[in-house]
Structure 1
Amino acid sequence: MNAMLTLEEAQERVLALAPQMRIETVPVEAAIGRYLAEDLQALRTQPPADLSAMDGYAIGGDAPGPWVLVGESRAGAPFDRTLSQGETVRISTGAHLPRGADRVLIQENAQVTDQTVACFKDFPNALRHVRQRGFDFSKGDHVLPAGTRVGPAQLALALGAGHGTLDVRITPKVAVLDSGDELVADPAECADHHIPASNGAMIGAMLAELGCEVVRLGPVPDDHEALAFALAKAGDADMLVTTGGASVGDHDLMRPALEAWGASLDFWKVAMKPGKPIMVATKGAQVIFGLPGNPVSSFVTCFLFVVPLVHAAMGASQPLPFRTNLTAGSTLPGIGSRREFLRAIWDGETVRLADSQDSSALAALAHTNCLIDRPAHAVEIEAGTPVPCLLLKNGGIA
């Protein structure tokens, strides 16, 4: 139980504990940020007919014209009869191509005199500037797989495919409990021997961004009775996240408090920095995380373990943070015996280390937008070298 797990081993064990959240049906626009519970099938064909991709004139056949202008086809108001040989209609982008037409002469290449249209250059081939019926998708096509996160583009696709509602998994209810004698709830009433209780707010915000219902239970002092009272309020949550008291000091009471509450420890300690003393436990179907009290350690372990579990519970097909290689903008030092996640700033071209790697440094954390993943015993690398990184936006989801 006390042997340190690798990150991958620990994440695998966490994801195996993911609760199966029930499915609900919501309006498409309310599904943003949620995950599809079922494959999404198109209920209609898009486009439903051949459409013009440009403003111009709809024509048919290989005859070079000129053509007699006999009407107009607009988006939402198609021309209502079949074109005869030698006829054309004015057509707008997105309008239905009339029967008898098979191409579009764009307006830049057309010469119009009274009711006659002629082509003075670049006579179009068949289907030129035409969006053919069903080129995007056809009725019955599977357009999105289960486990897809609904973002703005996926929302538009669902509506375009004819869906007014979507089946998604509900978001978890998460209780967040921060503990420590040094913590005070009101930053304005903070003596020198105290610190504002920022961890609970930070973790709560990370989970609220995912759509979770967050219940704050702290700050709570390092006292067995106070911890037991707070834990009793967390019984109906799908997950419990605690911060502080996860190490082995005389005042680190979270592990014994959780065990006295009836939680069963799954693992404790991961071979990583920051965040080594993370605890994961269960009580019935509830998953419990004991995160370290240092704010950077709390943030990183939440990002690497709690956020993926929430994604998995909500039905994400790929719940773990997205990895990508970025170019180091400066020399990166060698690493010791534990894998390290270095706070860093990506400027769109290169990635550089934040000003401080101390696990208490909130200012450096606030400017961080990615984590550089450095393996144990890694040697120093020079600027210009690709390095694996985790982007922090969208909970790490690409």
Structure 2
Amino acid sequence: MRKAALKPSMESPPMAHDRKQSDSRIMAMLHKRAASIEKGESLTPPIVNAAKYALPGAPDHPYPYGRFDNPGWGAVEDAIGALEEAETVCFPSGMAAVTAALMATLKPKSRLLLPSDGYYTVRVLMDEFIKQHDIETTEIPTAEMTGHAVEGYDLVWIETPSNPGLDVCDIAAIAERAHAAGALVIVDNTTATPLLQRPLDLGADLTVSSDTKALAGHSDVLFGHVSGRDETLMARIRNWRKLSGSTPGPAEAYLAYRGLMTLELRLARMCESAHELANLFYSHKAVESVRFPGLADDPSFKIASTQMSEPGFVIGLTFKDEETAERFITDCPAIFAATSFGGIQTSAERRARWGDDVAEGYVRLSVGCEPTAALVQAVSDTLDSL
């Protein structure tokens, strides 16, 4: 007999966003460009396709060459920076942002504490390239991060909620101990976005994000960013972009900016629907188990309720086997079968196909912006047919 459904509901989280402060950041983000333009200038940022700029005399202009800066980058950086309340540098993908953060903070023979269950490409990057610089890496599960010893490490990398397992760790507690031990802390905040979780406020030195996901939100652009409040660290991040050539295209910056403008509205629908779907999955006989930080008996609930304003829009569900999981994804008319998450359309994939350490029947579901009732009904009908 399955347990009765627990209504997914975050308690009033003491460390989560104050509503007025959150609204203030959103207003600042929406009006950042509008407040700085002159009469006759466009409200939308320009798409400046330029490798060369006029540069007579001393090369002391913000735009000396296309690899150094671009007006479109500045617009999206200002907007994201208003949400993060921190200096922001944009990149052509989330992994480009991750690489910049690692290269700016690690030195030869540094010791790194890394989640073993976070986004797998970060671990591949470490194994294939960064370890060659005599970087020593220790990998542990996200659920063990909060209490793990940090002494002797130079950098602690956190991904919370983790992707794809949705475990969480206590950012504030880890940052306090890490700083006392002389280590930096970087948080991959892709799953939560700066609207649902505030790593820098909780003590992180840098936050990174794949804005390809929810922040840009339309599944039409690769983008990423790094934000931080330490001028020295951010100068290294910006210099890495310039020297490595890891620069976003002007059109991509425009698309990321365009998507960012509706982030709050999209997240509101996505989180609302995620609550309803998590409750449905929890009580349905076709689902073996559910992971969602908003379920009161989920292992992530206690910590998530202290540092997130909402449990998010990603749900992990396990079916009895691979076949059932694939049928759920392909049979449901409201689900788009694809990798990645955070888009307008609800999407899902069976993560074991990528080699993640999850059950063969584990599905990562990214809840989209469809009308909630219609989405829940379509999913419910599909579950009933399995």
- Higher-RCO chain (CA-CA 8 Å, sequence separation at least 6): 2
TM value normalised by structure 2: 0.30
TM-score norm. by structure 1 comes to 0.29
Structure with larger Rg? 1
